[in-house]
Amino acid sequence: MYRPGTDAQWSLYAGAMASPRSHRSYPPPAPFGSNKPGSPSPAAGAGATFARSHPLPNSRLAGGPTTRAPDVNMTTGTCQCCGHLLRFPLTIKAFRCTVCETVNDLDPVPLPEGGQVQPHRLSLERLRTLTNAAQQNRQSAELLEKTIADSFSLHVAINESFSNHKPVTETNCGVNLDDVRTAYAILLSNTSPSSNVSRNGSLQALTQNLERLSITSSRLVSALNQAIDKLLKRPGRRLVGANDIKFLMIILENPTLSSKTNNNDVTFYHDILGRLFGLVSCLSNDLHHLIVSWFSQLPIDIFQKRVDMVNFYISRRLSTKDGMRENYSNDWGIKSAARVMALLFAANLARPAPKLVISDFYNTVVDYVDLIRDYLKWQEEKSGAFSFCQYPFLVSLGGKMTIVEADAKRQMQERFKEAFYRTAMHNQPTDPFFSIHVRRNNLIADSLNSLSARNADLKKKLRIEFVNEDGIDLGGLTKEWFLLLTRDLFDPQYGMFDFDEDSQLCWFNQASLENSEEYRLVGTIIGLAIYNNTILDVHFPSACYKKLLNQNVGLDDLQVLHPALGRGLQQLLDYDGNDVETVFSRDFVAEYTAYGASVIVPLVPNGQSVPVTNSNRKKYVELMVDFLLTRSVQRQFDAFKEGFMSVCGGNALSLFRPEEIEMMVRGGTELDIESLAGVCDYEGFNPNESTIRNFWDIAKRLPTDMRRKLLLFITGTDRIPATGIQNMPFKISCLGEDSEKLPVSHTCFNQLCLYRYKTRDKLETKLMKAINWSAGFQLK
């Protein structure tokens, strides 16, 4: 519990209130936030947080009596580990933060041994020499242990160790990381003897010789990590320049920090990780840019380990501290780790392929906190408290969908209450549902009329009625309406969208004669599907979802949509000859086909007279991409986006990445029958009786297209939920003994109803007929 002190108690308390920051802006927050030296860090959180500054005797830290003279001048500064703003006298040279216990030196600590740091610097060759000598006698073995302890506990020593002798830049951290990894491997007892880390015998022989001299590898590792812990508790200087932070890259390579062995070690390593993440998170914006660049150059397997290391820390901190899942917003360790993960996420976006997918950043333990409360807290205009919604890459797709569904349910309930209030108080009969009546043979026009006429009702619960058909919509008719409507709207013969045969993806028809309302209808339908937790079989490229989230699109996105055209433009850029104009014979124009006629559009004024050359080809590609993905379909896409945002607009949408929006819209395509059987519940059937065994055997033998039809018959959609089949309720119920009637399904409940057909052949025949004849509600 942090308590504020008065000016008269400066030697016991020193504190200042951190400035609150609003987090209403779309997440994730920039990994290079406003935590410049001397200013409050976002890691500090918000609200009145106070910390003490303790005098430490026999050091350059604040000393003297425990009560201050009334005329001492005060100043403020941030702890460079936890980011809290502290107040302390101008006369002291260092202060200790009581939030994280880090000693902050305002001036660099003097160098040891008369200013000579060379004896403490490590290189791979020096470490090999020391380890070889350590096998010969105990004195050399003890020297190895002492060298490790001295080198890793002193900033100026470890920061200059394993140097690659190159200046620190965005592309070079100044450290030979391969040598660092090899050095750690030599020190670890569990390294495979076959590892290519020593030219002087196997590590197994080295370990055995060291143990003979009572210097075990575990002792070396202990000395190593005790030294790192000492260094992180007191770095000895402010980390303000690029040359100050090389040691952080060395420590991040330490594989023991993500160890999951015995609890005592895990607790110790966990504390080291917290301090390490704290120092990284509180660096300046410019240093964060460097860290991101260095992270982006790591091999993909090492990069994955960094992400896992941060998630390991967050998971353990949330799981082991009492009440942490409720009070995490004030925990500096979780804030620091989340900020480091933001740096890794930015590095992943910047790195060349291969990249990690968004799910690699998910932390499943985060899903167990109260995400609804977290979202509401993030929504508060003046809230400066930490929330996981600021760092949505930590929240799984299922967790985000929980937030969206809760927000949608809240808004639906509000519309429902408003409708009943108007009915009760003003005698105005109002439908509490968004009821849509459509004819199957006039589906698009009827749907468009309903959506246009009742725009204010979009956030009510949908209820669909097919004219002149029986059935009450408990969810199944809504699914069928979505399915049939999207198939009609995306039918190539309807002319709203063009399809690429190579990619099997669709894009807005540049020459479409349809009015904007129909594109708005498509956007509304997709928004309603998300809002009503229904998946659709639509084939938009990633560019569509990027544009919905206001993200830039480029050549990579065009290559996904139009592979042949994209490859051609990439070849133009990659061509290394000096005769681009002659070889490619292109001008600054774009061309497309509109109802059989060729349409030529200049990309620049008088573009048909401007040839593409070596010097302007990059500009040509940029203009071509912009034309195809933006300018040529501006009217169509703007109407589509307007419809989508009329349903899904708001802060919740900003929690998602484009690929997550796509997954929510489309769901998954791979139907694993084994997995479906694993989540199935039974009513009136024993899972081991012949009818059930025959059903699963038939399902497993179905070709892919028939499996999708089976899923469509039972659930109303031929795709699985975005969060996986394990989250899809599924039930098989018994209708009675053998019968000539067909199976039926209740798509509202994902329920298949079977009779106890006497033979496998009869079950298969009846099931296939039911699947193929299932259009309309009659069989449901």
CA distance 57 to 611: 76
Rounded (10°) angle between helices 516-531 and 397-426: 100
Give the per-residue pLDDT at 200. Answer: 43
Give the per-residue pLDDT at 43. Answer: 36
Q: Where are the alpha helices (DSSP H) in 351-396?
A: 371-379
Range in 251-255, 289-293, 714-718 with the lowest mean pLDDT: 714-718
Task: Give the pLDDT band (50/70/90) at residue 487.
Answer: confident
DSSP 8-state symbol, 689: S
Find residue 87's DSSP bridge partners.
76
What Cα–Cα distance (Å) separates residue 434 from each residue in 366, 447, 457, 528, 532?
35, 12, 6, 11, 12
Is pLDDT at 44 greater than 70 in this prediction? no
Phi (first) and psi of residue 479, to 5 degrees: -60, -45
Domain count, the chain: 4
The answer to the question of residue 278 being in a domain is: no
Give the per-residue pLDDT at 204. Answer: 54
DSSP 8-state symbol, 73: -
Say whether both 603 and 620 belong to one domain: yes
Give the per-residue pLDDT at 544. Answer: 96
Instruction: Using the 3D structure, point to which of 629, 654, 685 is the last residue of a domain.
Output: 629
Say whether both 594 and 617 belong to one domain: yes
Q: Of 173, 648, 680, 748, which residue is the catalytic one?
A: 748
Spatial contact of 226 and 144, defined as CB atoms under 8 Å apart: no
CA distance 420 to 405: 22
Q: Which two tokens stand for residue 69?
A: 């003279």
Task: Give the pLDDT band (50/70/90) at residue 753.
Answer: very high
The answer to the question of residue 269 being in a domain is: no
What's the pLDDT tens digit per position in 682-711? 999 999 999 999 999 999 999 988 988 898
Task: Give the pLDDT band (50/70/90) at residue 762.
Answer: very high
Say whether both 224 and 119 belong to one domain: yes
The answer to the question of residue 67 being in a domain is: no
Give the per-residue pLDDT at 533. Answer: 79
The residues near 302 (Cβ < 8 Å, ≥ 6 apart) are: none
Buried b / exposed e across 30-60, counting CB within 10 Å, b at 16+? Answer: ebbbebbeebbbbbbbbeebbbbbbbeeeee
Which is nearest to 362 in space by CA: 333, 323, 401, 324?
Answer: 401
Q: Tokens 């006298």 appear where?
A: 89
Mean pLDDT of 41-51: 35
Q: Which two tokens stand for residue 359?
A: 């799910």
Mean pLDDT of 536-552: 93
DSSP three-state, residue 466:
strand
Most confident of 47-51, 58-62, 552-556: 552-556
Spatial contact of 512 and 634, defined as CB atoms under 8 Å apart: no
Largest CA-CA distance found in the chain, in angstroms, rounded: 99
Q: Which DSSP helix (H) or strand (E) runs through 590?
A: strand 589-594
CA distance 81 to 35: 12
Task: Give the pLDDT band (50/70/90) at residue 648.
Answer: confident
CA distance 282 to 37: 8
Phi (first) and psi of residue 373, to 5 degrees: -65, -40
Say whether both 702 and 733 belong to one domain: yes
CA distance 259 to 189: 13
Q: Which DSSP helix (H) or strand (E) runs through 414?
A: helix 397-426
Instruction: Using the 3D structure, point to which of 233, 249, 273 is the last residue of a domain.
Output: 233
∠ CA 412-413-414 to the nearest 5 degrees?
Answer: 90
Rounded (10°) angle between helices 371-379 and 397-426: 70
Say whether both 518 and 535 belong to one domain: yes
CATH no. for residue 585?
3.30.2160.10
The answer to the question of residue 13 being in a domain is: no
Rounded (10°) angle between helices 138-153 and 124-134: 150
What is the share, in percent, of the chain residues with pLDDT greater than 70? 80
CA distance 195 to 172: 26
Is pLDDT at 540 greater than 60 in this prediction? yes
Strands 730-736 and 680-683: parallel
Rounded (10°) angle between helices 760-772 and 690-701: 60
Give the per-residue pLDDT at 134. Answer: 83
Instruction: Using the 3D structure, point to which of 526, 548, 570 is the last residue of a domain.
Output: 548
The answer to whether residue 748 is catalytic is yes
Say whether both 410 and 527 belong to one domain: yes
CA distance 677 to 696: 7
What's the pLDDT tens digit per position in 125-143? 999 998 888 888 888 888 8
CA distance 521 to 30: 35
What Cα–Cα distance (Å) separates residue 721 from each residue in 393, 518, 556, 717?
20, 27, 28, 10
Length reported for the chain: 780
Say whether both 506 and 623 belong to one domain: no
Q: Which DSSP helix (H) or strand (E) runs through 731?
A: strand 730-736
Which is nearest to 303 in space by CA: 135, 174, 486, 177?
Answer: 177
Q: Which DSSP helix (H) or strand (E) runs through 598?
A: strand 597-602
Say whether both 689 and 750 belong to one domain: yes
Give the per-residue pLDDT at 39. Answer: 39
Say whether both 120 and 194 belong to one domain: yes
Domain extent for 216 = 113-233
CA distance 763 to 734: 13
The answer to the question of residue 644 being in a domain is: no
What's the pLDDT tens digit per position in 325-380? 778 888 999 999 999 999 999 999 999 989 999 999 999 999 999 999 999 888 87
Task: Give the pLDDT band (50/70/90) at residue 474.
Answer: low
Is pLDDT at 4 greater than 50 in this prediction? no
Rounded (10°) angle between helices 177-187 and 124-134: 20
Say whether both 603 and 527 belong to one domain: no
Within 10 Å of residue 295's Cβ, how many Cβ atoms?
24
Task: Give the pLDDT band (50/70/90) at residue 583.
Answer: very high
The answer to the question of residue 182 being in a domain is: yes
Is pLDDT at 11 greater than 50 in this prediction? no
CATH no. for residue 419?
3.90.1750.10
Give residue 503's Cα distance to chain centre.
26
Give the per-residue pLDDT at 235. Answer: 95
The answer to the question of residue 660 being in a domain is: no
Sign of CA dihedral 600, 603, 606, 609: negative
Say whether both 571 and 536 belong to one domain: no
Mean pLDDT of 185-201: 51
Give the per-residue pLDDT at 429. Answer: 57
CA distance 484 to 644: 19
| Alpha-carbon torsion, ordered 459, 461, 465, 471, to 10 deg | 170
The residues near 156 (Cβ < 8 Å, ≥ 6 apart) are: 108, 111, 117, 120, 236
Say whether both 691 and 604 belong to one domain: no
CATH no. for residue 766?
3.30.2410.10
Q: Is 606 left (phi over 0), alpha (psi -120 to 50) or beta?
A: left
The answer to the question of residue 472 being in a domain is: yes
CA distance 394 to 359: 9
